[in-house]
């Protein structure tokens, strides 16, 4: 288990395990009973009571958010390999923007979001029976903020959604996006009064006052999309709350080592993290990006207990955004000839046919030894299925992203890398954007000075001027694979642009279809236009 996981989260893990036992062994005697009179009282009691909400929030299905928000963009592509990873074209649907109401990943993302919302509603119902006090108020504010975040994600992705604020009851129909927007805003502004401002191990992984301000900044910056109004000064004000805290007290900062922020031992020591989802590969259901990105023959390099799939590749034109040779952020990409951690080349002994199944020369079974090389360009052998082939050459097309470093301590394919939701760098870039879009500059900050703070940490050259197009590129370089690329492209009007292998320009694809399975369960739901 990660050393930083505090006693509160130990409570969470324990209760998760107890829930599993309770579901599988119905004969376990009840030795105690929780009542409003004896529980909850302390901070740890309240965190334990909230465990179901946090367990849903950190569930492996959170990968569905990553897939929907990143695979539908110009950043990455998921290929098939000799038929594997084709999966009826569900991955292609995201990249081509041909996703439909029966796409399983879109369904999983809906379930992830609304299951977490439902768990939050249940927790809030239980907390309302607890004795009055500040601990109760803080715990309720945290769960309201967590629910607000999930409502934001669902509203951002599906448009009009059910505004579920009560546990159980009759399934609700969809509410206008503007109504959900207003509810999220009111929830966060109300919660600010009771959310903690302290940032340390005890509050890590739980909503704080700064998480609420970060979410408000996202909400206001995207207001033209959600409600047709500009809220750039409001976005700047929300960012300023965090920036002032950073400048005055050093609560947040841009960590010097960019790559280290995403390593398996990241945690509350990362000053850039405003709010993150804590993971532990062997104790908490986790994410597993390395499995998707890494070439199978990199298993030994990273001492992994599993062979990665390596089906996700970097779009070459996205890599080209890292044009500054000194930009350290591009060092997390795997490109060209591959080497072991000790510097020795990764050599492969195979046959001509094993290297390339299309080989038609005179010696198909002749033994050859080659160094593993990841190529920039993505060559399809079956374009209709995005299939690059299942031989060594076919598996080696495309650069890879190694931002969330592989976890050799995992007993499975899970990882211990905590996943940031909001970072200080994002706050700086959001403020720069809001000013560029017409908001009033504050605290002596300018779009150039704010962007250059991020650039300086990356060892990249400074801007002398910046426009919105370049700011979008800077957001791409700083925040890739963190789940914000789709949101950014929509806000900048670029989601309908063509990019390699994709020509769809239908603005209706800015929001996903309501999963048909959910409409079948809840007839009050209606489908989004175009689906």
Q: What is the pTM of this model?
A: 0.92
pLDDT digits (tens, 9 = 90+) for 307-330: 998 899 999 999 999 999 999 999
Bridge partners, 283 (sequence order): none
Query: Quick one: pLDDT band at residue 25, thresholds 50, 70, 90?
Result: very low
pLDDT of residue 284: 66
Rounded mean pLDDT of 379-405? 96
- Whether the predicted pLDDT of 22 surpasses 70: no
- 233-290 pLDDT tens trace: 999 999 999 999 999 999 999 999 999 999 999 999 999 999 999 998 877 666 678 8
- Of 170-174, 309-313, 404-408, the poorest mean pLDDT is in 170-174
| pLDDT score of 508 | 96
pLDDT per position as a tens digit, 459-477? 999 999 999 999 999 999 9
User: What integer pLDDT is reported at residue 2 of this predicted model?
Assistant: 56
- Give me the number of domains the chain comprises: 1
Cis peptide leading into 40, omega within 30 of 0?
A: yes
What's the mean pLDDT in 39-49?
A: 76
pLDDT of residue 513: 98
Q: Where residue 514 falls among pLDDT bands split at 50, 70, 90?
A: very high
Cβ pair 69, 487 in contact under 8 A: yes
- pLDDT score of 170: 75
Kindly state the greatest CA–CA separation across the chain: 83
Q: How far apart are CA 517 and CA 410, in angstroms?
A: 34
The pLDDT assigned to 448 comes to 98
Give the three-class secondary structure for 9: helix
Q: Name the packing angle between helices 134-158 and 104-127 (round to 10°).
A: 160
Placement of tokens 């020795």 in the chain? 344
CA 273: distance to chain centroid? Answer: 13
Separation of alpha carbons 479 and 457, rounded Å: 13
The percent of residues in the chain predicted with pLDDT above 70, rounded, is 91
Highest mean pLDDT among 49-58, 81-90, 221-230: 221-230
Is residue 518 assigned to a domain?
Answer: no
Q: What does the block give as tokens for 334?
A: 């795997």
Range of the domain at 305: 289-401
Residue 353, both tokens: 């046919």
Residue 329 located in a structural domain:
yes
How many beta carbons lie within 10 A of that of residue 17, not counting itself? 11
Average pLDDT, the chain: 91
Q: Are 45 and 51 in contact (CB under 8 A)?
A: no
Q: What is the average pLDDT across 157-186?
A: 93
* Burial per residue of 376-386, b for 16 or more beta-carbon CB atoms within 10 angstroms, e otherwise: eebebbeeebb
Segment 240-252, tens digit of pLDDT = 999 999 999 999 9
Confidence band for 37, pLDDT divided at 50, 70 and 90: low
Q: What is the mean pLDDT of residues 358-367?
A: 96
- Does residue 424 fall inside a structural domain? no
Residue 162 lies in a domain: no
Report the candidate in 523, 530, 431 with the shortest Cα–Cα distance to residue 474: 431
Assign 61 a pLDDT band (cuts: 50, 70, 90): low
169 has a pLDDT exceeding 80: no
* Predicted confidence (pLDDT) at residue 9 exceeds the cutoff of 60: no
pLDDT at 511: 98
Please give the average per-residue pLDDT across 139-163, as a whole number.
97
**Range with lowest mean pLDDT among 33-42, 80-89, 100-109, 419-428:** 33-42
The model's confidence at residue 49, banded by pLDDT at 50, 70 and 90, is confident
pLDDT score at 39: 66
Within a domain: residue 528? Answer: no
Q: Does residue 32 surpass a pLDDT of 70?
A: no
Q: Do the Cβ atoms of 442 and 433 come closer than 8 Å?
A: no
Structure tokens given for 48: 């334990």
The pLDDT-based confidence of 96 (bands split at 50, 70, 90) is very high
DSSP assignment string, 182-246: HHHHHHHHHHTTTS----STTTTTS--HHHHHHHHHHHHHTHHHHTS---HHHHHHHHHHHHHHH
**pLDDT band per the 50, 70, 90 thresholds, residue 52:** confident
Query: Would residue 45 count as lying in a domain?
Result: no
Name the packing angle between helices 424-436 and 232-249 (round to 10°).
140
Residue 26 predicted with pLDDT over 80: no
> What phi and psi, each to the nearest 5 degrees, are found at residue 421?
-100, -45
Neighbouring C-beta atoms of residue 18, cutoff 10 Å: 12
Tell me whether residue 425 is in a domain.
no
From 153, 142, 167, select the one nearest 50 (Cα to Cα).
Answer: 142
Q: How confident is the model at residue 111 (pLDDT cuts 50, 70, 90)?
A: very high
- Residue 343 falls inside a structural domain: yes
């Amino acid at each position: 288990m990660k050393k930083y996981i505090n006693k509160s989260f130990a409570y969470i893990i324990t209760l998760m395990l107890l829930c599993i036992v309770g579901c599988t062994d119905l004969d376990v005697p009840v030795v105690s009973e929780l009542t409003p009179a004896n529980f909850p009282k302390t901070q740890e009691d309240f965190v334990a009571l909230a465990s179901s909400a946090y367990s849903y929030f950190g569930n492996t299905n959170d990968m569905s958010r990553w897939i929907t928000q990143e695979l539908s963009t110009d950043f990455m592509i998921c290929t098939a390999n000799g038929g594997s990873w084709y999966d009826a074209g569900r991955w292609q649907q995201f990249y081509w923007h041909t996703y439909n109401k029966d796409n399983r990943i879109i369904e999983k993302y809906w379930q992830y979001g609304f299951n977490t919302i439902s768990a939050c509603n249940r927790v809030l119902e239980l907390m309302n029976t607890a004795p009055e006090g500040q601990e109760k108020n803080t715990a309720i504010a945290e769960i309201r903020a967590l629910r607000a975040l999930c409502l934001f994600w669902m509203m951002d992705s599906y448009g009009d959604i059910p505004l579920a604020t009560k546990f159980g009851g009759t399934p609700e129909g969809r509410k206008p996006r503007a109504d959900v927007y207003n509810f999220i805003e009111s929830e966060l502004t109300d919660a600010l009064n009771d959310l903690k401002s302290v940032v340390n191990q005890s509050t890590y992984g739980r909503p704080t006052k700064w998480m609420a301000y970060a979410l408000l900044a996202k909400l206001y910056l995207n207001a033209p999309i959600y409600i047709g109004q500009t809220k750039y000064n409001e976005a700047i004000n929300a960012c300023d709350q965090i920036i002032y805290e950073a400048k005055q007290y050093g609560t947040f900062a841009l960590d010097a080592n960019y790559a280290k922020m995403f390593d398996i031992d990241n945690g509350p020591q990362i000053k850039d993290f405003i709010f993150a989802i804590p993971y532990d590969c062997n104790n908490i259901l986790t994410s597993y990006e390395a499995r998707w990105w890494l070439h199978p023959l990199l298993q030994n390099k990273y001492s992994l207990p599993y062979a990665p799939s390596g089906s996700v590749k970097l779009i070459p034109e996205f890599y080209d955004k890292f044009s500054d040779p000194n930009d350290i952020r591009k060092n997390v990409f795997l490109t060209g000839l591959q080497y072991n951690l000790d510097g020795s080349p990764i050599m492969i002994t195979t046959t001509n046919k094993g290297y390339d199944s299309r080989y038609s020369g005179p010696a198909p079974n002749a033994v050859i030894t080659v160094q593993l090389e990841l190529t920039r360009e993505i060559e399809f052998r079956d374009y209709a299925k995005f299939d690059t082939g299942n031989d060594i050459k076919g598996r080696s097309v495309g650069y890879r992203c190694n931002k969330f470093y592989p976890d050799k301590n995992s007993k499975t394919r899970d990882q211990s890398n905590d996943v940031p939701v909001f970072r200080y760098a994002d706050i700086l870039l959001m403020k720069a954007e809001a000013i560029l879009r017409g908001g009033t500059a504050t605290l002596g900050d300018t779009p150039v000075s704010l962007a250059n703070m991020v650039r300086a940490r990356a060892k990249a050259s400074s801007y002398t001027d910046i426009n919105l197009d370049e700011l979008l590129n800077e957001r791409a370089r700083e925040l890739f694979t963190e789940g914000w690329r789709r949101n950014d492209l929509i806000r900048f009007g670029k989601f309908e642009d063509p990019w390699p292998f994709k020509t769809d320009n239908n603005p209706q694809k800015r929001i996903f279809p309501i999963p048909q399975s959910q409409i079948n369960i809840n007839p009050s739901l209606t489908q989004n236009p175009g689906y």
